[in-house]
């Protein structure tokens, strides 16, 4: 999937206190007496036609707002600079907007700013941070408002990256329906939404739907005249035309799109995609110049270190071409690059698509690499070292693959067990993890070892009752709760409380807290189908965890499976019933 190619649904964000644009800037005499409303109107008018003029209006807004100590207009100014930014200052503008918005405690501005920050990290292919910022933005956004729905569509694009096409399309269509229902079809966001739908249908090979939304987007573009958006819509149209085997018509469309993308440095990945499909057209037309296009794609990928499964397909063409021409050095060169690309894809994505290793899967590539190295220079010490390292790597990958398969089977079986057992404690007790093998009495049972606590019977009884209330009131879902805080709330000290939990539960306090939270979220997931649709980060939040990693580790330790496998098992069980 092409990350930079999805620029438009995500291009709705950015700002921090900065100096580069303001430093040395003076408000032109012609703008000194203009109101904020007039400046903003001029900015919007020049936003897509003359970014140099638009920057002057944005800087003027900020300087006037700072002079008047108008934080809302300062935030507006940073947002305006974000919209025309195409350099390293982008994140600075976003953070500036966040800083000002926090001073105002303005949720509307905060939701916008954090959405922009999510976009920034999306472009950087840091999906974890991107999603985190989207969720923060959604927390500030007005429920079911425009920003809220837009953020959902941004998350839809992340799902598109994971090749979850049905869910991605559902979120993108939801945003489109919201805009139409609220008469926002004249807004630039609607045009961007049409583009993203066109692209989503393209990657899922639903060409009729893709062409439909591309055409609607181009019709809207006649009014907005946004050149980057026109180029992107043309690119989708050109790719669809290629897939329909109309090579002669597709070639000039893609050439034009590639030319337009070169005017905007943000669109380097779009250039790569257009060049890739131009290369495929030339290849199908038996034009040997196809190799130049594919080598340009490789150059963009290795420079930007930003790749997609779609662009990965460049390398089999390059490797096969140089294999047929007998150029072993080039063949080895592009095998190395393909291995590099696969390492990036493996790192960036939560799973490996079966299409990654169609022809040149990792073991085959490493084996061919060893043969080529030996053939090029059998006496070279460095090549011999690489040969050995490659063999070790193959063995390591093989062992890891076996272990991963066993682990996946274990996760699936334990997840199925959790769904089949109506009693959660009974299900967990069958999990063969030491963590769960220690039995513990209920809070209502007598504490036969109470004398170890050096507490009076009345005090122990009181603490038992308080712990019962702690559980029944679900105080364990409070993210801030810990042994120190709870001991203060129960009017005792941490040592006594720790001993009491050990005696009553057979666990230390963190284990006790984790088990309460995991048992709770398992029950909730069983009862609440809507909760099953949440992201793992959102489910972790519901269970009282500050981050996904802590939640996943606790869930795995207690159940011997992962949340994702458990949710999948629940859904499969529902489909079978």
Distance CA 346, CA 404 (A): 14
Distance CA 264, CA 91 (A): 18
Q: What is the mean pLDDT of residues 27-31?
A: 86
Share of the chain above pLDDT 70, in %: 77
Cβ count near 308 (within 10 Å): 26
- Give, as one character, the DSSP assignment of residue 267: G
Q: Residue 59: which of 99, 27, 95 has the closest Cα?
A: 27
pLDDT of residue 390: 65
pLDDT of residue 290: 92
Q: Assess contact for 538 and 409: CB atoms under 8 A.
A: no
Domains of the chain by residue range: 444-576
Q: Assess contact for 130 and 6: CB atoms under 8 A.
A: no
532, 534, 537, 543: CA torsion to nearest 10 = -50
Q: What angle do CA 537, 541, 544 make, to 5 degrees?
A: 140
Longest dimension (CA), the chain: 91
More reliable by pLDDT, 374 or 488: 488
pLDDT of residue 210: 94
The distance in angstroms from the start CA to the end CA of the chain is: 35
What residues have CB less than 8 Å from 117, skipping those under 6 apart? 13, 14, 91, 94, 95, 98, 133, 137
Question: With 50 as the cut, is the pLDDT of residue 270 above it?
Answer: yes
Distance CA 540, CA 547 (A): 7
Cβ count near 243 (within 10 Å): 15
Q: What angle do CA 266, 272, 273 make, to 5 degrees?
A: 105
Residue in the structure block whose two tokens are 């060169």: 333
The count of residues in the chain is 577
Share of the chain above pLDDT 90, in %: 30
pLDDT of residue 575: 77
Q: Which of 5-19, 157-171, 559-573 has the highest mean pLDDT?
A: 559-573
CATH class as words, domain 444-576: mainly alpha
pLDDT of residue 130: 82
Span 80-99, pLDDT tens digits: 888 887 666 788 888 888 99
- Residue 349 tokens read as 């994505």
Cβ count near 227 (within 10 Å): 15
Sequential DSSP letters for 311-379? HHTHHHHHHHHHHHTT-HHHHHHHHHHHHHHHHHHHHHSSS--TTTTTTT-HHHHHHHHHHHHHHH-TT
Distance CA 355, CA 406 (A): 22
Span 308-331, pLDDT tens digits: 778 889 999 999 999 999 999 999
Q: How many helices (H) and strands (E) does the chain have?
A: 29, 0
pLDDT of residue 431: 52
Mean pLDDT of the chain: 80
Distance CA 175, CA 194 (A): 10
Distance CA 345, CA 354 (A): 12
Q: How confident is the model at residue 391 (pLDDT cuts 50, 70, 90)?
A: low
- Residue 87 tokens read as 């350099």
Q: What is the mean pLDDT of residues 227-244?
A: 92
Q: Say if residue 340 is exposed, middle or buried (CB neighbours under 10 Å; 0-12, 13-18, 19+).
A: middle
Distance CA 339, CA 334 (A): 8
Q: How confident is the model at residue 307 (pLDDT cuts 50, 70, 90)?
A: confident
pLDDT of residue 7: 42
Q: What is the mean pLDDT of residues 141-157?
A: 87
Question: With 90 as the cut, is the pLDDT of residue 253 above it?
Answer: yes
Question: With 60 as the cut, is the pLDDT of residue 539 above it?
Answer: yes
Q: Which of 82-91, 145-154, 338-347, 356-365 has the highest mean pLDDT?
A: 145-154
- Residue 22 tokens read as 């303001």
Sequential DSSP letters for 418-464? HHH-SSHHHHHHTS--GGG-S----TTS--TTGGGGT--HHHHHHHH
SS3 label, residue 142: coil
Q: What is the mean pLDDT of residues 179-205?
A: 91
Q: Assess contact for 422 and 520: CB atoms under 8 A.
A: no
> Model-level pTM greater than 0.75?
no
What residues have CB less than 8 Å from 373, skipping those under 6 apart? 332, 383, 386, 387
Which helix (DSSP H) or strand (DSSP E) does residue 250 occupy? Answer: helix 247-261
- Give, as one character, the DSSP assignment of residue 30: G
pLDDT of residue 442: 42
Distance CA 202, CA 259 (A): 21
More reliable by pLDDT, 281 or 453: 281
Q: Assess contact for 232 and 210: CB atoms under 8 A.
A: no
- Residue 468 tokens read as 């019962």
Distance CA 96, CA 113 (A): 9
Span 99-128, pLDDT tens digits: 999 999 999 989 999 999 888 887 776 777
């Amino acid at each position: 999937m092409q990350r930079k190619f999805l620029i438009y649904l995500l291009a709705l964000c950015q700002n921090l206190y900065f100096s580069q644009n303001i430093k040395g800037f003076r408000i032109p005499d012609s703008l000194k007496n203009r109101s904020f409303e007039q400046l903003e109107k001029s900015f919007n008018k020049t936003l897509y036609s003359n970014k140099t003029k638009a920057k002057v209006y944005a800087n003027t807004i900020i300087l006037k707002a700072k002079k008047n100590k108008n934080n809302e207009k300062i935030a507006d100014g940073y947002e305006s600079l974000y919209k025309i930014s195409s350099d390293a200052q982008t994140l600075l503008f976003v953070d500036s907007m966040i800083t000002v918005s926090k001073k105002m405690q303005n949720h509307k501005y905060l939701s916008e700013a954090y959405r922009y920050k999510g976009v920034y990290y999306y472009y950087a292919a840091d999906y974890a941070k991107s999603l985190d910022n989207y969720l923060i933005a959604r927390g500030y956004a007005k429920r079911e408002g425009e920003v809220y729905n837009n953020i959902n569509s941004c998350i839809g694009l992340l799902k598109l990256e994971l090749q979850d096409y049905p869910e991605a399309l559902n979120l993108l269509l939801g945003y489109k329906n919201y805009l139409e229902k609220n008469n926002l079809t004249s807004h630039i966001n609607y045009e961007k939404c049409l583009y993203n739908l066109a692209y989503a249908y393209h990657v899922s090979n639903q060409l009729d739907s893709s062409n439909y939304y591309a055409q609607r987007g181009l019709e809207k573009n006649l009014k907005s005249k946004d050149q980057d958006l026109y180029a992107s819509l043309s690119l989708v149209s050109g790719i669809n035309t290629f897939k329909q085997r109309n090579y002669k018509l597709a070639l000039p469309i893609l050439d034009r799109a590639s030319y337009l993308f070169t005017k905007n440095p943000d669109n380097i990945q779009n250039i790569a995609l257009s060049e890739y499909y131009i290369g495929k057209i030339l290849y199908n037309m038996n034009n040997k110049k196809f190799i130049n296009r594919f080598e340009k794609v490789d150059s963009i990928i290795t420079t930007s270190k930003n790749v997609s499964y779609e662009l990965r397909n460049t390398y089999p063409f390059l490797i096969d071409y140089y294999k047929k021409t007998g150029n072993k050095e080039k063949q080895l060169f592009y095998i190395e690059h393909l291995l590099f690309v696969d390492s990036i894809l493996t790192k960036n994505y939560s799973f490996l698509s079966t299409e990654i290793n169609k022809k040149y899967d990792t073991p085959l590539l490493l084996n061919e690499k060893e043969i080529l190295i030996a053939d090029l220079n059998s006496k070279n010490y460095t090549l011999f070292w690489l040969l050995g390292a490659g063999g070790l790597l193959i063995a390591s990958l093989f062992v890891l693959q076996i272990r991963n398969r066993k682990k996946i089977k274990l996760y699936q079986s334990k997840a199925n067990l959790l769904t089949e057992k109506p009693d959660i404690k009974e299900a967990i007790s069958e999990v063969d993890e030491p963590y769960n093998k220690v039995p513990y009495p209920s809070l209502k049972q007598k504490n036969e070892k109470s004398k170890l606590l050096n507490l009076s019977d009345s005090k122990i009884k009181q603490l038992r009752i308080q712990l019962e209330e702690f559980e029944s009131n679900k105080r364990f879902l409070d993210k801030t709760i810990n042994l120190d805080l709870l001991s203060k709330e129960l009017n005792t000290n941490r040592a006594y409380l720790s001993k009491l939990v050990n005696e009553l539960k057979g666990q230390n306090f963190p284990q006790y807290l984790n088990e309460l939270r995991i048992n709770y979220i398992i029950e909730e997931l069983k009862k609440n189908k809507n909760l099953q649709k949440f992201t793992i980060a959102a489910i972790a939040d519901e269970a009282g965890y500050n981050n996904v990693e802590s939640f996943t580790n606790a869930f795995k330790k207690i159940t011997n499976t992962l949340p994702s496998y458990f949710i999948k098992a629940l859904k499969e069980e529902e489909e079978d019933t």
